[in-house]
Amino acid sequence: MNYISTRGDQSPKRFCEILLEGLAPDGGLYLPEHYPQVDAATLERWRSVYHQEGYAELAFEILSLYIDDIPVPDLRAICQKTYTAEVFGTGEIVPLRHLENGIWLEALSNGPTLAFKDLAMQLLGNLFEYELARRGEELNILGATSGDTGSAAEYAMRGKKGVRVFMTSPVNRMSPFQQAQMFSLMDENIHNIAVDGVFDDCQDMVKAVSNDLEFKRKYKIGTVNSINWARLLAQVVYYFAGYFQATEASTPSAELRTGGSARTEHQKVSFTVPSGNFGNVCAGHVARMMGLPIAKLVVATNENDVLDEFFKTGVYRVRTSADTHETSSPSMDISKASNFERFVFDLLGRDGARVKALFGDALARTGRFDLSQHPAFNQTTLRYGFQSGQSTHADRLATIKDSFERFGMLIDTHTADGVKVAREHLQPGVPMIVMETALPIKFAATIVEAIGREPDRPAKFVGIEALPKRVTRMAADVGAVKAYIAEHCA
């Protein structure tokens, strides 16, 4: 499988090259040359792979369609080492629970940092260690986080040979629990950098360093932000696992299997995905492009409604820092959605020049583009199944309280945004799976506000706020970050 850039660079690259590279040299994002197609027979085979051999083996099946430069036994071993009940708490890895009529929750948040990013990041940590050892190289990961990415990356990379992590985060924008999770790590290869600014200042610095090709090469800079294709690929797996659980739970399988036509008419499901940078739901898009029978992909945003606005109007408008709201679902507080370019590339018939014109200098200058008059725009729903909605702080509180009181299910603030929006997009007979992207303990203050008590805390996290912290504070200045990296790579 070869990979190409969304901005038109067609020089073919293999998986392990882009694994360590992140952003393409022309500023675009990598996508596979084509999406492997999964036919009905393969889908049914994967169903039994998941149920009988487990999530790790399902991951291996899917990954091996996209990764052909790691020997099969090695790739299988990496998947087996990553997706264990010890690391993810359950044998299903992403168990499905019934919430209410037609709505299911897929638990993506049982990993080491209690958020869905662990599912991709734990794999990335093992892929990095494998590939770096094979090459005899080192890698310095520079990242930006508003919370969950940073801790997931640090827990995945801590102690890994050949890897250092430099993680920038906006000062005092994370919850105390999130800060404690990250800053309490004492591993020598983990560096926390608190930046005077918002998340997008951090992300812009990471992009600026990545665009300085000389620095990037000299210091072997890589990224773990959601633009990394390997992360996106890892996330594709749990759309399949969710589908297998929901369709068995909701459809008598005999009905599906009777008659020749039934084989091609698979039961459909829909997903609602609490979204920020469009990484999670973009993996859903990839799964759908591969042939997974997904009816709708519903993008749920909070008050930072860049994506909801696009799907409703065709206008993509980047927000300024001042116009980026600080909300109680902070991992969705974005001013632009860095993975969105991947979907637009597909939407515009993979026209790299057009994507470059939209996302390159023009966007930096004007902060917006408008596809409302473009013939492709109405394909977002008709052909690609996307819909969207948004949720507010009041909605989160009401949804958390309601699910707790009526169903005894305590959900986190991001998942609550998803449930609120999912309820607006239900279709009779189509199971709606809401991605549970974090556990409530990460956002305890809002839970207290909603139900009047603290969420339960897993034993391993008791008292972490009181642990010593390891963090360096810095201005939002690319030069300062570069100097820090240079100093700590010596």
Ligand X SMILES: *Cc1c(COP(=O)(O)O)cnc(C)c1O
Active site residues: 117
Instruction: Give me the least distance between CB of 329 and ligand X, in Å please.
Output: 7
The 96-125 contact track toward ligand X, x by CB under 6 A, reads -------------------x-x--------
Instruction: Give me the least distance between CB of 114 and ligand X, in Å please.
Output: 9
According to CB under 6 A, which one of 178, 203, 226, 270 is a site residue for ligand X? 226
Cα separation of 29 and 6, whole Å? Answer: 5
Q: Exposed, middle or buried, 244 (CB in 10 Å: 0-12/13-18/19+)?
A: buried
User: Which stretches within 196-305 are classed as H helix?
Assistant: 199-211, 213-218, 229-250, 253-257, 260-264, 279-290
Q: Which two tokens stand for residue 478?
A: 């690319």
Instruction: Give me the least distance between CB of 260 and ligand X, in Å please.
Output: 39
Q: Does 447 bind ligand X (CB under 6 A)?
A: no
Q: Indicate the residue among 380 and 437 with the shorter CB distance to ligand X.
A: 437
> What single letter denotes the amino acid at residue 253?
S
Instruction: Give me the least distance between CB of 295 and ligand X, in Å please.
Output: 20
For residue 247, give Cα distances in angstroms to 44, 53, 251. Answer: 11, 18, 6
Q: Indicate the residue among 62 and 438 with the shorter CB distance to ligand X.
A: 438
Instruction: Give me the least distance between CB of 482 and ligand X, in Å please.
Output: 26
Instruction: Give me the least distance between CB of 337 and ligand X, in Å please.
Output: 7
Q: Indicate the residue among 119 and 292 with the shorter CB distance to ligand X.
A: 119
Q: Indicate the residue among 231 and 482 with the shorter CB distance to ligand X.
A: 231
According to CB under 6 A, which one of 24, 94, 438, 474 is a site residue for ligand X? 438
Task: Mention every residue, 6+ apart, whose C-beta is less than 8 A from residue 245.
Answer: 92, 95, 96, 104, 106
Q: Indicate the residue among 117 and 296 with the shorter CB distance to ligand X.
A: 117
Helix (H, G, I), strand (E, B) or coil at 348: coil
Q: Taking CB under 6 A as the criterion, which residues in 326-365 touch ligand X?
A: 331-332
Instruction: Provide the β-strand partners of residue 386.
Output: 297
**For the chain, first and last CA: distance in Å?**
36
Number of chain residues interacting with ligand X (CB under 6 A): 16
Contact indicator for 342, 284 with CB cutoff of 8 Å: no
Cα separation of 291 and 37, whole Å? Answer: 6
Q: Taking CB under 6 A as the criterion, which residues in 256-315 touch ligand X?
A: 274-280
Q: Does 30 bind ligand X (CB under 6 A)?
A: no
Cα separation of 289 and 70, whole Å? Answer: 24
φ, ψ of residue 433 to 5 degrees: the values are -100, 120
Q: Does 437 bind ligand X (CB under 6 A)?
A: yes
* Interacting residue ranges for ligand X, rule: CB under 6 A: 115, 117, 148, 226, 274-280, 331-332, 414, 437-438
